[in-house]
Amino acid sequence: MKLYSRVQVIKLSIIVFIFAVFFTSMLFLACSKKSGIKTDNNISTAINDNENSFKTDLEENKTRLENILETNISSQPKSYDNDEADFSTYSQEEAQNIYVYEMCNEAVVNITTKVMNYNWFLEPYVQDGGSGSGSIIDKRGYILTNVHVIQGASEIYVSLFDGSQHKAEVVGTDLDSDLAVIKFEPPKNIVLKTIPFGKSEELKVGQRVIAIGNPFGLERTMTTGIVSGLGRPIQNSNQRIIRNMVQTDAAINPGNSGGPLLDTAGRMIGINTMIKSSSGSSAGVGFAVPSETAIRVVADLLEYGEVRRGVIEANIIQLNKRIAQYAGYDISQGVMISEVTENGNAEKAGLCGGTEAAYYGSRRDIIYLGGDVIIKIDDIDITSLADYYSALESKRPGDSVMVTVRRNKKNIQMQVILAE
């Protein structure tokens, strides 16, 4: 028997490995071409296009908002000057905190609501509702807050730094981001201060932040902390997943909702929205909607009264184990396409609805089984309706998304141009 040296064996192994990789690659490409499934190059191109589109959209949204508001959101406030600080009395950190508070606190309002209720005789009466915070973003009286602060209110009031109270009206709300814009008529003898937007997309974990709000009704309370995390997907009280939330350990309590999360230059880099806590009070885990989301949402609310998002023109149903078993699917998570709109973007892209009619839910609505199951949009896994709406939250009509569906026990990718 012929013996081979160790070097010869290694060389032979390398040649066999290279041949195997080449053969496997050619086979995969041939199969991909035959089945019409997108290759990794297509996916990478789509992801890069989405990143470039995000940067362009953010700048366009800033420009749109500046055109609507009297405040130039791109202009930066006067920077804190170490040389001007009096360190004989305060430390550098204390002096900076004082500087931000004095610059911004008068632009933070206390929001209280009244709700309509009915007595035993079905007679309507008004009673006290909830309370929260808000930031003045325009000298004409526009205020940014959370939807859940004003939701269900029949009357809304804002209290200014001087103690005066004014009735406000809703300009627009957006459940998907939990953001709302309200407006009041400012007194002629008061020049309102405003809070400029910062750049949440440039935040770093460990960066110092400041929260100002009205916890437990204690007006314009300031707390400090750091950015504890970035890009957090958190489900809100309206069962919507808000992505890219800013996590902070700055104390946030009931009443802080809707108030600003500020950087050390006094720019709003987030809107304080929720906390994780077993007691209902601050446990050092708070979350703020990032300013990049707020800029886009506020621009739409002021211009249209609503947020205009791109949609897939199809009737979507939450998939569960019972439906999956009955319809013969090999997966039980995702969203099922019951029907596609005739000549709509889903049909044009090749997405398929179901063909077998069945009753669904307590109202016994008719749905159609056997359609595609959406399991991914771009790089976001879709396991529920909350995931589905969250994946489309930042998309505009005309945007292109890569949709991955489960069909006949195979994953298929299709590019869909979103409709309005």
- Write the pLDDT tens digit of every residue in 274-311: 998 777 777 889 999 999 999 999 999 999 999 999 99
24 compared with 386, residue with greater pLDDT: 386
* pLDDT attached to residue 20: 52
State which H helix or E strand residue 125 sits in.
strand 124-138
* pLDDT attached to residue 6: 45
CATH topology of domain 309-417: Pdz3 Domain (2.30.42)
Average pLDDT over residues 46-68: 63
Q: What percent of the chain has pLDDT over 70?
A: 82
* pLDDT attached to residue 120: 86
CA distance 275 to 229: 13
Q: Do domains 200-294 and 309-417 have the same CATH topology?
A: no
* Res 387 pLDDT > 80: yes
CA distance 36 to 413: 8
Catalytic residue numbers, as ranges: 148, 178, 257
Q: What percent of the chain has pLDDT over 90?
A: 61
Token code pair at residue 48:
């890069």
pLDDT tens digits, one per residue of 343-368: 999 999 999 999 998 887 777 888 89
The sign one gets for the Cα dihedral 277, 278, 283, 284 is: negative
Token code pair at residue 62:
């800033």
* pLDDT attached to residue 161: 94
Average pLDDT over residues 184-191: 91
* pLDDT attached to residue 32: 36
pLDDT tens digits, one per residue of 195-243: 999 999 999 999 999 999 999 999 999 999 999 999 998 887 777 888 8
Average pLDDT over residues 311-322: 92
3-class DSSP assignment, residue 387: helix
* pLDDT attached to residue 335: 95
CA distance 71 to 48: 33
* pLDDT attached to residue 42: 43
* pLDDT attached to residue 39: 33
* pLDDT attached to residue 118: 85
Looking at mean pLDDT, say which of 31-35, 41-45, 389-393 comes out highest: 389-393
Question: Does residue 334 come out as left (phi exceeding 0), alpha (psi in the -120 to 50 range) or beta?
Answer: left
Question: Does residue 370 come out as left (phi exceeding 0), alpha (psi in the -120 to 50 range) or beta?
Answer: left
Amino acid at 27: L
* pLDDT attached to residue 78: 56
Closest CA relative to residue 236, chosen from 292, 189, 179: 179
* pLDDT attached to residue 4: 43
Q: How many residues does the chain have?
A: 420
**Which of 143-152, 161-170, 275-284 bottoms out in mean pLDDT, i.e. has the lowest?**
275-284
SS (H, E, C) 144-169: EEEHHHHCCCCEEEEECCCCCEEEEE
List helix spans (H) across 305-362: 321-327, 345-349
* pLDDT attached to residue 37: 32
Residues 6+ apart with CB under 8 A from 418: 309, 310, 311, 312, 345, 392, 395, 396, 397, 398, 399, 400, 401
* pLDDT attached to residue 80: 56
Can you list the pairs that 323-326 forms with residues at least 24 positions away whose Cβ atoms lie under 8 Å? 323/360, 323/369, 326/358, 326/369
Domain 200-294 CATH superfamily: Trypsin-like serine proteases (2.40.10.10)
Closest CA relative to residue 216, chosen from 277, 281, 165, 268: 281
Detail the DSSP E strand segments found in 141-248: 142-146, 155-159, 165-174, 179-184, 208-213, 221-235, 241-248
* pLDDT attached to residue 55: 55
For 131, half-sphere exposure in the C-beta direction (CA atoms, 13 angstrom radius) is: 17
Could you state, in order of their start, the residue ranges of all structural domains in the chain? Answer: 1-35, 200-294, 309-417
* pLDDT attached to residue 79: 53
